[in-house]
């Protein structure tokens, strides 16, 4: 999957490409859009549903110093926790104490109570009580442990470490999702996302975390199902927090959601992906000029509107091909192609294989 460069400052990344001055000023001025602008569809929900965001693992970690957990790459990890999924995203929320996280061959961050860590792209990483530590557990043992958690045969509260005075409690969530052909949420995130704690009274995660803690410590019937759904809800709220913290000059798909022109365009495209859109027709629908739409959309989303639509159609089609038995011609019509041949050519150009080959491929042959 193509990955954007890391994002600024607290997200452990170099500065992102700034918008031209004229575009930046336009983003802060009131805009007169067409009636109903931005109200068509919840784009983030549409994407997370279509890329099949699914809870894979959820547990609590009670650790005492010294301790270190080394998480393998998602390509190794995914078959162990959610067979058939393309990719695994992991996140950790520190509820007490402090710890360190390091992407192997990448950045290191210090986490305090209330902080959130997200590893979106499947990099191997280490969570530990001090920087520079590594786990001595072999990879097979780590995968076996996660299989036990995934099957429900292990407790939802994991205790480990050397029994030292420094304690850390973490909520650990792992989710499966698609990355191919197109997952715009993951593409816009850096390798390591660090979200600092919010001030008291502004943290909407707190009630969810407290519910998860209670469910883990006093499990009832259906607890595993509840915890996996909570894992999904927590991740969505984490993405919302990231979205709320995006700087005015930051680019990327999530930044586009907050822009009045681009956000409206994305809502319209996701509401009617099979419509025979042209740039002129989309601009007219939104109530802006064609050049204003093309420039703003390309600057923020980093591809033109019609190219974005083509990629999103292929994600919808890929899911239909994987999940159902509909004929290729029917899938083609569902995403706006009158000709099966034209759809097959577009699919192969974007995805790299034909629709029939995509349907026949093994689940993890991505």
326 within 8 A of 155, measured Cβ to Cβ: no
* Helix, strand, coil content of the chain in percent (nearest 5): 45, 15, 40
Asked if the structure places residue 251 within a domain, the reply is no
Judge if 140 and 230 occupy the same domain.
Answer: yes
Judge if 316 and 232 occupy the same domain.
Answer: no
Judge if 269 and 184 occupy the same domain.
Answer: no
Measured CA to CA, the distance from residue 205 to residue 184 in angstroms comes to: 24
Nearby residues of 365 by Cβ (< 8 Å), 6 or more positions away? none
Measured CA to CA, the distance from residue 300 to residue 280 in angstroms comes to: 19
The per-residue b/e assignment along 119-133, b for 16 or more CB within 10 angstroms, e otherwise, is bbbbbbbbbbbeeeb
Asked if the structure places residue 81 within a domain, the reply is yes
pLDDT at 200: 67
Judge if 213 and 288 occupy the same domain.
Answer: no
pLDDT at 109: 96
Angle value at C-alpha 85, between 83 and 91, nearest 5 degrees: 105
The two structure tokens encoding residue 27 = 């983003």
Judge if 215 and 303 occupy the same domain.
Answer: no
CATH number for the domain harbouring residue 58: 2.60.120.10
pLDDT at 41: 80
DSSP states along 248-313 = TT--SHHHHHHSHHHHHHHHHHHH-TTS---HHHHHHHHTS-HHHHHHHHHHHHSS-HHHHHHHHH
CATH number for the domain harbouring residue 302: 1.10.10.60
Kindly give the confidence (pLDDT) of every residue in the chain, 366 residues in length, as a single tens digit, with 9 standing for 90 and above.
333 333 333 333 333 333 443 333 333 333 344 333 444 589 999 999 999 999 888 899 999 999 999 999 998 988 888 888 889 999 999 999 999 999 998 899 999 999 999 999 999 999 999 999 999 899 999 999 989 988 888 888 999 999 999 999 999 999 999 999 999 999 989 999 999 987 766 778 888 888 888 888 887 888 888 888 988 998 998 898 888 888 888 899 999 999 999 999 999 999 999 999 999 999 999 999 999 999 999 999 999 999 999 999 999 999 999 887 889 999 999 999 999 999 999 999 999 999 999 988 765 544
pLDDT at 215: 86
Judge if 161 and 277 occupy the same domain.
Answer: no
DSSP for residue 103: E
101 within 8 A of 121, measured Cβ to Cβ: no
The pairing of beta strand 157-161 with beta strand 54-64: parallel
Nearby residues of 164 by Cβ (< 8 Å), 6 or more positions away? 64, 65, 66, 129
Q: What's the total number of domains in the chain?
A: 2
Judge if 178 and 304 occupy the same domain.
Answer: no
C-alpha Rg value of the chain to the nearest Å:
22
Given the structure tokens 């980093």, which residue do they identify? 302
Judge if 144 and 172 occupy the same domain.
Answer: yes
Asked if the structure places residue 10 within a domain, the reply is no
pLDDT at 154: 82
pLDDT at 197: 87
End-of-domain residue from the set 191, 217, 244: 244
Judge if 240 and 348 occupy the same domain.
Answer: no
Residue 145 vs residues 158, 224, 291: alpha-carbon distances, Å: 10, 16, 54
Asked if the structure places residue 316 within a domain, the reply is yes
Asked if the structure places residue 32 within a domain, the reply is no
Asked if the structure places residue 249 within a domain, the reply is no
Q: pTM higher than 0.85, yes or no?
A: no
Measured CA to CA, the distance from residue 262 to residue 299 in angstroms comes to: 10
Give long-range contacts, CB 8 A cutoff, 24+ apart: 29-32: 31/260, 31/261, 31/288, 32/287
Judge if 299 and 205 occupy the same domain.
Answer: no
Judge if 327 and 203 occupy the same domain.
Answer: no
Residue 195 belongs to domain spanning: 48-244
pLDDT at 214: 86
End-of-domain residue from the set 216, 244, 272: 244
pLDDT at 144: 92
Asked if the structure places residue 1 within a domain, the reply is no
Nearby residues of 169 by Cβ (< 8 Å), 6 or more positions away? 60, 61, 62, 63, 94, 95, 96, 97
Judge if 235 and 265 occupy the same domain.
Answer: no
> Bridge-partner residues for 117, per DSSP?
92, 194
End-of-domain residue from the set 244, 269, 288: 244
Measured CA to CA, the distance from residue 42 to residue 366 in angstroms comes to: 28
Q: How many residues in total does the chain contain?
A: 366
338 within 8 A of 208, measured Cβ to Cβ: no
């Amino acid at each position: 999957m193509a990955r954007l460069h890391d994002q600024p400052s607290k997200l452990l990344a170099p500065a992102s490409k700034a918008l031209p001055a004229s575009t930046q000023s336009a983003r802060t001025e009131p805009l007169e859009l067409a009636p109903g602008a931005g109200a068509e569809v919840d784009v983030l929900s549409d994407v997370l549903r279509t890329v099949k965001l699914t809870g894979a693992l959820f547990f609590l970690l009670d650790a005492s110093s010294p301790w270190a957990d080394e998480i393998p790459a998602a390509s190794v990890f995914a078959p162990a926790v959610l067979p058939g999924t393309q990719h695994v995203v992991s996140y950790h929320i520190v509820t007490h104490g402090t710890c360190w996280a390091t992407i192997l061959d990448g950045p290191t961050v210090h986490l305090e109570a209330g902080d959130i860590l997200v590893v979106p792209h499947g990099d191997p990483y280490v969570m530990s009580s001090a920087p520079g530590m590594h786990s001595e557990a072999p990879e097979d043992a780590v995968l076996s442990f996660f299989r036990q958690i995934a099957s429900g045969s292990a407790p939802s509260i994991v205790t480990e470490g050397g029994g030292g005075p420094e304690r850390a409690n973490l909520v650990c969530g792992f989710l499966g999702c698609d990355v191919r052909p197109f997952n715009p949420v993951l593409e816009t995130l850096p390798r390591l996302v660090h979200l600092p704690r919010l001030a008291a009274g502004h943290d909407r995660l707190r009630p969810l975390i407290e519910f998860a803690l209670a469910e883990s410590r006093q499990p009832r019937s259906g607890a595993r199902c509840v915890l996996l759904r909570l894992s999904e809800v927590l991740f969505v709220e984490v993405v919302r927090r990231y979205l709320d913290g995006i700087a005015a000059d930051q680019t990327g798909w999530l930044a586009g959601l907050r822009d009045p022109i681009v956000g409206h365009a994305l809502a319209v495209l996701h509401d009617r992906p099979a419509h025979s859109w042209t740039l002129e027709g989309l601009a007219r629908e939104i109530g802006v000029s064609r050049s204003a739409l093309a420039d703003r959309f390309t600057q923020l989303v980093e591809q033109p509107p019609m190219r974005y639509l083509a990629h999103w159609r292929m994600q919808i089609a890929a899911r239909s091909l994987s999940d159902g038995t509909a004929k290729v011609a029917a899938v083609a019509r569902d995403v706006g192609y009158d000709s099966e041949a034209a759809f097959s050519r577009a699919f192969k150009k974007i995805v790299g294989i034909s629709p029939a080959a995509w349907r026949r491929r093994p689940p993890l042959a991505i």
